[in-house]
Chain A
Amino acid sequence: MTPVLELNNLVKTFGASRALDGLSLSLPDNSYISLLGPSGSGKTTLLRVIAGFERCEAGSIRFGGRSMQDVAPHRRGIGFVFQNFALFPHLSVRDNVAFGLTNRELAPVTNAGEIADRVQAMIALVGLTGLEDRAVTQISGGQKQRVALARTLVTEPKMVLLDEPLGALDANLRARMRNELREIRERCGVAFLHVTGSETEALAMGDVVLVLDRGRIAQTGNSDSIYNRPASSDVARFLNCYNLFSGRIDGESFVAPAGRLPLGGLRQTAATPAYAIRHDRIAIRPTGTGLGGDEAAIEAQFLAEEYTGSAVYSFFTTEDGTLLEVETHLSKDARPVLEPQGRYALVWNKEHALVYA
């Protein structure tokens, strides 16, 4: 299957900083692709470059096999859903959705009947039936989101770019829209490139997940491989579920300021040496208890905890000031009873650790 989008070594600078630093990727057609990028990683710039709103200093873009060099944004056939929706304020919902069809340069639809049918069908698909004649200034955030989607999808693009589409919605709506977005995409058979700063959203939505770090793709894979085998300590950090130790390898151990940790588990090559262990892989035990053969441990002082109902997050600090977090799932284990400022041993199976060297 030919990739729907191929980017090669894109470079985009703003003044002194490089927003895109030799970025390359290849996206499969007809799939949901999510791009995880913390703020400052260049994710909005990337989308704007793909759409043609910005030009790159170097690199190439191929969309559907065609080179996008010098192709104006309105001739690319790539849809864009904006973070602030960018609906046309002086037009109704219906006119917003119909706008692309009636006004586009290439093959505008002139048959009023056809327009009405296609617009109606798309409005039904996104669940806005009944709101066709409302002014777009008089609908809720979630409804605006759907209008923005419908407006783009009705023109049948081969790919749609979504810039933090769920960012402006409240938490409940966000969860619901996640499912709806996936459903809508599947029914239309288009590729979605969904950019977000939320790691849970990225992992939940993408068939393919890309991680963007400082203008480059740091990892590509499915949710499982990203979550369980982050390719570098930076990616691990974005996932917000790993404790990270910096340091270096010395023989059979990893030497960190917090202590010596036995090596085991998955070893990956990376630029910066690091040792990672997931929050929920750690057990809290009183100090002085013996360690099993394949266990690693660190002594730390208990600081505070956060109870969310289904889990407890406990925060510890080591002698040298490293902050560690332990996640206990209450469906599996009992809630730990910890003394404030008490010293405990944080223990884990060394095979669960990720080592970067």
Chain B
Amino acid sequence: MNSGAVKFGLGVYTALFLVFLYGPLVVLAILSFQTGPEGGPQFPIIEWSLYWYKHLFGLTPPSRIAPLPIDDALVRSMALAVMTMIVSTVLGVVSAQAFRSHFKGSGLVFYLIVLGMMVPGVLVGLGMALVANTLGIDRHWWGTAFVLHVVYTFPFAFLVMLAIFNRFDPSVEEAAWSLGVSPIRTFRKITFPLIFPGVLSAMLFAFTLSYDEFSRTLFASGRDLTLPLAIYGTFSVEVHPNVFAFGVLTTLFSFALLGTYAVLMGLSVRRARRIAVQEDA
């Protein structure tokens, strides 16, 4: 559009909007370099130091501020995220494959699956805790919390795979069948390699969602905490810059994950583009 004034105004607004989005994180990052253990989570910065980063790894002399209970929690969160990633991606691929044919009740099943990402964690966590109590099952992160994580991430994996299959040309599968190759083997050798970028996206999605997932885990993980729960535990207590330092590190980790994903996707997209070229020929 040519309304120059409007465009300029909106451009300035968008810049401010981005400041709004990133502001707190930037402040958080700055404050993570606060000196310790006397320095608190507010301005001014008494002195720039890496104290709190060292505190995270237990490399500082003991002070009245307890270290964040992260080691075991971190391992648990990772393990849980990997388990969730595998199960929900498998379910997502298999269910999306089912939706390639029209079957009775597919509308209902679709909404049932999507429901999993719509229901807030509080509700489903509460419900699961009640079920566990009634049936006398213990709550564990690898049991009750795990199943809820899959309930949450499976719809995402499903929708991603649904989109991938929508654009998938089935004639290569039919070609394989006409050569005498069984449908299962066709899936293994032809379909799967071609949908792999989508599977990768679904896996990444599921991992990230599970790793950060918190409200569902709150009621369902029993005694042993996952990482987000450990962090949540510090909320009500005084907040110290060590949490900020932890936030910065977590963010960097997410970026590293995203970066790896971007590289892998770039490779797959390049291959997919060559495939698209073939179809045009």
Contact = CB atoms under 8 A, between A and B. Distances in A.
A–B contact (CB under 8 angstroms): yes
B174 A100 contact: no
Interface stretch (A133-141, A292-300, A302-310): A133-141
Interface in A90-119: 90, 99-100, 103-106
Contacts of B274: 89, 135, 137-138
Contact of B174 (A73, A135, A140, A144): A73
Residue from A86, A136, A141 with most neighbouring chain B CB atoms (10 Å): A86
23 contacts: A53-B177, A73-B178, A74-B177, A74-B181, A74-B182, A74-B183, A77-B180, A78-B178, A82-B171, A82-B174, A84-B169, A87-B175, A88-B175, A89-B275, A89-B278, A100-B180, A103-B179, A103-B180, A104-B180, A104-B181, A105-B180, A105-B185, A136-B278
Q: Which 4 A-B pairs have the closest CB atoms?
A: A100-B179, A104-B180, A80-B178, A86-B171
B172 A88 contact: yes
B77 to A, nearest CB: 35
Interface string B156-185: 000000000000010110111111111101
Given A89-B194, A89-B275, A90-B194, A99 B178 contact: no
Contacts of A89: 172, 194, 274-275, 278
Given A90-B271, A105-B185, A51 B278 contact: no
Interface in B249-281: 271, 274-275, 277-279, 281
B189 A82 contact: no
A151 B180 contact: no
Nearest to A107: B180
A6 B281 CA distance: 35
B9 interface: no
Contacts of A80: 174-175, 178
A151 B193 contact: no
A152 interface: yes
Interface string A328-341: 00000000000000
B281 A152 contact: no
Contacts of B279: 84
B278 to A, nearest CB: 4
Contacts of B176: 74, 88, 99-100, 103
A99 B172 contact: no
Interface of A: 51-53, 72-75, 77-80, 82, 84, 86-90, 99-100, 103-106, 135-138, 140-141, 144, 148, 151-152, 155, 168
A162 B47 CA distance: 78
Given A103-B176, A105-B185, 14 more contacts: A78-B178, A80-B174, A87-B172, A87-B278, A90-B275, A99-B176, A99-B189, A100-B176, A103-B180, A104-B180, A105-B181, A136-B278, A137-B277, A137-B278
Contacts of A106: 180
B180 A84 contact: no
B194 to A, nearest CB: 7
A145 to B, nearest CB: 11
Contact of A73 (B171, B177, B189, B190): B177
A86 B172 contact: yes
A103 to B, nearest CB: 5
A155 B179 contact: yes
A152 B178 contact: yes
Contacts, number: 95
Contacts of B172: 86-89
A237 to B, nearest CB: 31
Nearest to A87: B278
Of the candidates A51, A52, A84, the one having the most CB atoms from chain B within 10 angstroms of its own CB is A84
Contacts of A84: 169, 171, 279
Interface in B237-256: none
A80 B175 CA distance: 7
A100 B181 contact: yes
A80 B277 CA distance: 22
Nearest to B174: A53
B169 to A, nearest CB: 8
A53 B182 CA distance: 13
Nearest to A104: B180
Contacts of A136: 278
Which of A72, A103, A141 is most buried by chain B, counting CB atoms within 10 A of its CB? A103
B275 A137 contact: yes
Which of A73, A87, A152 has the most C-beta atoms of chain B within 10 angstroms of its own C-beta? A73
A87 B176 CA distance: 9
B249 to A, nearest CB: 39
B193 A82 contact: no
A144 B216 CA distance: 53
Contacts of A152: 178-179
B179 to A, nearest CB: 3
A38 B129 CA distance: 65
A5 B115 CA distance: 50
Q: Give the interface centre of A88, A148, A155 by most chain B CB atoms within 10 Å.
A: A88
A133 to B, nearest CB: 16
Interface in B172-221: 172, 174-183, 185-186, 189-190, 193-194
Contacts of A73: 174, 177-178
A53 B176 CA distance: 12
B185 A103 contact: yes
Nearest to B184: A105
A54 B20 CA distance: 56
A51 B277 CA distance: 27
Contacts of A51: 174, 178
Contacts of A105: 180-182, 185
Contacts of A137: 274-275, 277-278
Contacts of A86: 169, 171-172, 174-175
Contacts of A135: 274
A141 B281 contact: yes
Contacts of B190: 88
